[in-house]
Structure 1
């Protein structure tokens, strides 16, 4: 099949428009060097159900090749996807600090939310996370024997159904593998903390062509050490950052504060510690300086695949993937507060102020005193473990002139949140205060009393099971003057079952778990039936169309129909245009519909808008309980949720002005309605009039909690441009040089917090209602030089600055953030490849930020890396 030079280049660009620059240019050149008579294998491109050559695609697709990522020291899927500019994830591994039941780390194309990015393995769904049931934890995806990552930056509900609003990320394994090998990787930051190791063992046997079968597998183990706040300049001062207008400390301190009265040690400096500061008559604890800003993480994964050649055109496939992830997070010691008589010291205690051990304090007139205390049993350390399995049996090939792809799969994910150390039995604290054995202001007679009240064990667990059958058949059904008309038809059946339980024996004793111990198990099930069809129509020699439609029927909320129309036009050899329009949807997850409501502390400290208006206690209020403190927030599911809906429009072009220089530009415009969300704590406390109904109070008027339960809220509109530039020089006596740039410019990102409500902008500025920021411009650039057995790579990542959160009416702007990574590889030793490099060569520090929505303060861990300059190495030996 003869193809002109642009078509060959476009074929590569369409399946790799941006991605890693030097990788793409290499693909482009290789395509250009392929003889015209070479056999072109039919493949299924992400975003289509019809097999064909890649040049048939009319949607922008990026390819990221894992062998090139490895040369940059990339060992995880989260790191790999950070190189894609369209990915604007606001939940990374560091986001797990201070949270329970999380997804680990996620992808988020277009910044629409991780639940609107579909993640696949070889074109089929993986097990979603057990706690939120709507996203895939990237830490559970093994990169060993993953050949490439295809990123479709277009709506694809007409092909794949739910979740594919922002786009699709498809991890594709090698078709077959022969031989064996081992890889050892390590990374060591210049500063202490954060060391990383990774070990992989892989192997395969058999040839599909010669022996009619192939089996291969890989096992990978990885571990990254934690980083504490005091180990990095960006975080060591915690929540006391006067130049940023931040003073986020806790009224639950040690020595304990007495609400309405003060602290017996305030006049003498609040005890023998630098973690406390004096605030009037009270002590304030700088809790954010006492946390782990990057969690410890340990992963293990196994990937296996077997292919049996049934006929020359049909293969049977068996595939299994297993992964385990353990994330250990560290936050400040346990909080023991609540006002009223929750925690009090009786006048009979020998530690009562003025009785000879504790200094006297005005206002302590012999009555029992309420307390806000901070535990002395060490930091709270939690462990979240997640396991995921997926097994697949399928057929792939052709039968009677039909291309067939069918399979049945079973996926299961399990998660557990456990208290490891530092959590305190609340009732024992009350009892030991009441009987006079616990000193809330200093050392107790029993030096081990705090540790004796520690409690550990399972807090909550969740499980999600999904059984799926899918079938696709495609072929050319007739021929037009311009070529064959491709046709596909298919369908699927799926059943999902979810459950979540909590351990009341532990949660009833530890309020800071944020889990309601009175709630029973939460469960949810659903059945799905789907049918879809697709046409590839050559209208003229230079113009072709993709027409697709899909109908999904859900047992719990009904049906939805979604079409897609796309065009591809190549008027001249050097130029190609493409465009598409589609609708999409996202079904509310089983967690969103059926999870129990529970309470947990807000991430930041706030003022009660009634009892501490403007930061000053009003009538009935007191500074410790109502001012600059962490309140309870209640969140949970809603069985009345409806599906989210979307419309997507894209148009772009690919231009090859000269050989081996390719420019691609793609415009995207996405509108989402009926979004499932909840008002953030920032929004509730920033506008107490608008959210007055979200404040739930106790009988004494103090704040019990703020309501952040899920609901169908307003919409989101976003538009922008993806830009890709690739160039590859001819081979010379000095080697070959390649350049590539992958950038995304977001022109608009607006959202509503309620249906028919005001539109807010989130592009280039942090918005408390939105809870994060969409950067205006982000790009990755690569310069790669290769010669014989040597190669060097210089990578630049750029993230444009934005207007900061500024919750206290500050006027701060987060500065631009640029990272440079340098690596070199050598393959001259027999069967061995070696890579050495430096991440963040210039040791760029995270831009300063006054964001208070995270546990980390001083910078935003979602958009910058506190690790600093890091040295890495990788050795692979193949037997």
Structure 2
């Protein structure tokens, strides 16, 4: 039967729309069996019991995405993405995606159905993930997103879902592309180019070789050029004046008083709502970067050799290098106390007069002075991050008596080198003892000579590497035995893989000599996993199909786990299908959660100190505070169970609708102690807040906060995925395609400790209720044009359920929803030439501002919308 005829027949009985796919060979144009994400059984009818979203090459192009991360950010099934542009990140330059509102570590990323090595550095110092920036978008032929737990099929990290990227198969010819884009403000220029060449036809020539090369470069995006972020004075959005005290600097003589701005400010001083007086120099106006300069290139080759009619050898080799240069603002002196007689203590009569003019009660030579300021004379807190990723697969497939066999070995790895511009703790010491190599840095003035800082500068190099070695043997049969509904399918296999991670901080970091950073430990860890699995596809009746799967994993460091899965699809009538699944999962602690101490900085409002000083909660200022989390060798694995139930409707050929409900429950969730919970409820965590020395009866400044890892409590989330599509034929006038995708959370409950009550986090900043994407595409002859509306939900103007509601005084109760529009076009003036382009955020819409965040500058929705209107053009030519 011809492909077109059979596809139309299947569509008529309601099987198309959410996962139907087919492939044909060139010789006979016959349907071949393919494997869809979520199963190991090859089938012709690929629509089954699991909700799989499939994006083809053309679908990807019309999103206007230039990277994998930008593509995923347009999908409602992806709850959040991290693009790798944050200079304070543990993983600068790396990117990942999350599903179901859960962390990225619960989403499994595959390339052609196989694992990749995780990024050698971990998100937040704990969470392993696959760097999406190592996957050039141009070589991706399709993306399959399984919106369902798949631990029984793929392993314990497929809790929230699976994203499988697939490359071209049996391709002949040459495919080239070029892309250019930039923001309407003139920054963020990006250029990309690539070529893919395939030769040999498997059926005619007995082999196929695909080789591709891709290069991508983007210039920085600057805060100063974009209205949403050009100033840290967010009062224009109903927020606070968040211009940094440290940009110019501040001083005080008592922890009970606010900081005064350093003398000699050449602008009128500004008193913020908290009562703090600052010199209003705006860091965001100083050509600071919101997105860094990035360069990536990658090569990929796939060779398939046909041995006979039923057997093939295959090889896949890939290499990608990504380099990101992040300008991370100023290094800074964080609450350093000077005593009389210290080298940097003020003695100049003019300076003392200026200080007394600000605070008449200041007694020089008697009062201690605490200073806080950025080192804007020296080098910034910049990072040069280089990531090299390699991937190789060697395999053999054969068929024997209707059985399909596949054996493969997989070697992949990632090496990361971060060169960080730091200052050593000897700079802090020199403020007391003096600079033996030159003048002592004077924190009260600007324009210090370079020689006062350069002796303490250090270009520290931190390296890390990860590797994956894997072996898999599997067998499947599409027609094992007959049942009333048709032949039963079966798949079984064994897997073994070994993961390693080596993290080697610079010697200065290991010895604790880097200013504003705790000692970083060397780590060399590994573990191995052996797994066996089996899967049945059982058509129990003509309209009832059941999937049964069972997987057992043995971790050499955490023992055994067995995870079953059952799924079904039921079609009471040809226009309606019900589907559902239930499964369990297991997530072992990461190497760093077990063994490594990490240090980060976060914005913290010290409510207890503010109350002691008579400062109300809503005026309590946020300060950058050191957060120390320690490894815990007593951690236990997380366990979870998930459930889904949905309905697919196709009353007529061109109308499709689906609704899928899901619920995920987690136990023994591993997290660092929640920082906001510690600050809001300090008595609940004795010893967590460590303060600096102070006078009796007064609370000193916070030195650091301990947030160790623990099996904190639990998580329970549920929601709906809704998809509605209509293809409207306009006859000789073309075709109109309308689609609306909606992801809605119904509940997101957690508890910080096992002894805590459950808290509903839904409708707070951590979990807005919904995300919606509507697309309309008109096509006629060689032309097409599309409009996409991306909408993001409103939410309470609080971070989470435990947030201090007193901070809302005078502020809006809610952060409003917002919608951004994108347009795209495609034209094919020649058979082999396709030109496309578009505008993202065509209305130059500013995302809604989260005015009550303790982290200033937090907006809703997509980060790229902060860049304003963005233009792009693509050219694709096939030889």
TM-score (norm 2): 0.89
Mapped to 2, the partners of 1:101 and 1:345 lie a distance apart of: 38
Q: In the TM superposition, what whole-angstrom CA distance separates every residue of 1:398-421 from its partner, at most 9, and x where no partner exists?
A: 23321112210011112232224x
Matched, 1:302 2:299: yes
Label 1:54 to 1:374 Cα distance change in 2 as closer, same or farther (>3 A). same
| 2:536 corresponds to | 535
Structure 1 position 608, deviation (Å)? 5.6
Residue 547 of structure 1 aligns to a residue whose secondary structure is: strand
Aligned partners of 2:262 and 2:445 also within 8 Å = no
SS class of match (2:733): coil
Q: Retained in 2: the 8 A contact 1:402–1:474?
A: yes
Q: 1:503 aligns with which of 490, 503, 506?
A: 506
Partner of 1:710: 709
Gaps of at least 5 residues in structure 1 are 17-26, 619-623, 767-771
CA contact 1:652–1:667 (8 Å) conserved in 2: yes
**Measured at CA, do residues 285 and 677 of structure 1 come closer, stay the same or move farther in structure 2, by a change above 3 Å?**
farther
User: Contact conserved, 1:251 with 1:257, CA < 8 A, in 2?
Assistant: no
Distance 1:699 1:370 in 2: 12
Q: Secondary structure, in 3 states, of the residue corresponding to 1:194? A: coil
- Contact 2:176–2:195, Cα closer than 8 Å, also in 1: yes
1:697: how far off? Answer: 3.5
Q: 1:286 to 1:347 in 2, by over 3 A?
A: closer
Q: What are the superposed Cα offsets for residues 772-800 of structure 1, whole Å, 9 maximum, x if unpaired?
A: 2x232212222112222111111111111
1:415 aligned counterpart, secondary structure: strand
Range that drifts further, 567-576 or 48-57: 48-57
1:241 paired to 2:232 = no
Range 240-249 or range 62-71, more displaced: 240-249
Partner of 2:742: 743
- Deviation of 1:254 after TM superposition, in Å, equals 3.4
Contact 1:411–1:465 at 8 Å: present in 2 too? Answer: yes
Tell me, yes or no, if the aligned pair for 1:180 and 1:204 is still in contact at 8 Å.
Answer: yes
Is the CA contact 2:654–2:728 (under 8 Å) kept in the aligned structure 1?
yes
CA distance in 1, matches of 2:854, 2:110: 31
Greater relative CO (CA pairs within 8 A, separation 6+): 1
2:114 corresponding residue in structure 1: 124
Q: Distance in 1 between matches of 2:237 and 2:727?
A: 47
- Relative distance call for 1:509 and 1:736 in structure 2 (3 A) is same
The CA deviation string for residues 318-340 of structure 1, in whole angstroms up to 9 with x for no partner, is 11222222233333311113444
Match for 2:310 among 313, 316, 333? 313
Distance 2:579 2:469 in 1: 36
CA contact (8 A) 2:19 2:47 kept: no
Displacement of 1:214: 0.8
SS of the residue aligned with 1:318?
strand
CA displacement, residues 630-651 of structure 1 (integer Å, 9 cap, x when unaligned)? 2211024322222221111111
8 Å contact from structure 1 (residues 249, 628) kept in 2: no
Aligned residue among 13, 16, 20 for 2:17: 13
- Map residues 682-761 of structure 1 onto 2, 5 A cutoff: 682-698=676-692, 700=694, 702=700, 703-730=702-729, 732-761=731-760
Q: Deviations over 1:812-831 (max 9, x none)?
A: 32211211111111111353
The answer for the alignment partner of 1:24 in structure 2 is: none
Shift of the alpha carbon at 1:359? 6.8
Aligned twin of 2:84:
93
SS for the counterpart of 1:629 is strand
Question: Aligned partners of 1:264 and 1:557: how far apart in 2?
Answer: 51
Aligned to 2:480: 477
Aligned residue pairs total: 842
1:598 matched to 2:598: yes
Corresponding position of 1:875:
875
SS in 1 for 2:623: coil
In the TM superposition, what whole-angstrom CA distance separates every residue of 1:374-404 from its partner, at most 9, and x where no partner exists? 2122542223332221110012342332111
Residue 627 of structure 1, CA deviation: 6.1
Report the equivalent of 2:97.
107
Tell whether 2:773 aligns with 1:786.
no
What is the CA–CA distance in structure 2 between the aligned matches of 1:527 and 1:268, rounded to whole Å?
56
Give the Cα separation in 1 of the matches to 2:97 and 2:13.
Answer: 28
Report the 3-state secondary structure (helix = DSSP H, G, I; strand = E; otherwise coil) of the residue aligned with 1:180.
strand
Out of 780, 797, 801, the position equivalent to 1:804 is 797
* The one of 115, 131, 134 aligned to 2:128: 134
- Choose 198-207 or 700-709, whichever is displaced more: 700-709
Residues 280/812 of structure 1: CA separation in 2 closer, same or farther (3 Å cut) = closer
Is the contact made by 2:340 and 2:365 (CA closer than 8 Å) also made in structure 1? no
Greater CA drift, 523-532 or 297-306: 297-306
Matches within 5 A, 1:223-242: 223-238=217-232, 241=235
Matched position secondary structure for 2:732 = coil
- Give the C-alpha shift of residue 296 in structure 1: 3.0
The offset of 1:526, in angstroms, is 0.6
TM-score, normalised via structure 1 length: 0.89
2:454 aligned residue: 452
Shift of 1:545: 0.8
Which residue number in structure 1 is paired with residue 567 of structure 2? 566
Q: CA RMSD of the aligned region, Å?
A: 3.3
Equivalent residue in structure 2 for 1:775, among 761, 764, 768? 768
Report the 3-state secondary structure (helix = DSSP H, G, I; strand = E; otherwise coil) of the residue aligned with 2:627.
strand
Check the 8 A contact 2:505/2:521 in 1, yes or no: yes
